[in-house]
Amino acid sequence: MVTPYNLDQAIRKVPDFPKPGILFYDITGILQTPPAFKYCIDAMVEQYKNVKIDAVAAVEARGFLFSAPFADRLKVPQILVRKAGKLPGETNEKRFSLEYGEDVIQIHTKDVQAGANVLLIDDLIATGGTLKAAAELIGEIGGKVEDIFCVIGLPFLNYAEMLSDYRITTLINYEAE
């Protein structure tokens, strides 16, 4: 059983970062508060304990912080979703549009097993663009993503529309301020 924890107290809200008018939700406070971090991992385990998960994939870099202990608890492999040029060896990549331009993500080709059910994890979901690209890339390599987990959700940015093909779970949501 997961004990409720008020994550809002641990999440730092940083105004005007990375640019004026943006309120940044910083998970560093969760990492600085062991009971908050434990709550997040315990809640993830509880949420997915009866779901068949063959691997977890995490988006660079803050997604790794939550996916690694979760993958360890479930005894499943972890797949790293990284920015272009960060992974050695053979990779598959996906180019996608961002609000302010374009980006490229990569995954080691051999890390995704054919037919594997992959849980996609990140710290925060805003518009959903990066997560959609990651889910599509996993699918192109041969895996399948049905579920996406993020600690923080910003539903006012309409990620549910972008990710309508996936079940999305968040621990805390924020509305526009």
Instruction: Give the catalytic positions in this structure.
Output: 62, 99
Burial code (b: 16+ CB inside 10 Å, e: under 16) for 2-20 equals eeebebeebbeeeeeeeee
Among all chains, which residue has been given the structure tokens 């790794």? 64
Distance CA 94, CA 85 (A): 12
Give the amino acid at 57. A
Can you read off the two tokens belonging to residue 34? 């062991």
User: What are the backbone angles phi and psi of residue 9, rounded to the nearest 5°?
Assistant: -65, -30
Do residues 138 and 107 make contact, with C-beta atoms less than 8 angstroms apart?
yes
Distance CA 148, CA 58 (A): 10
Can you read off the two tokens belonging to residue 48? 């997915």
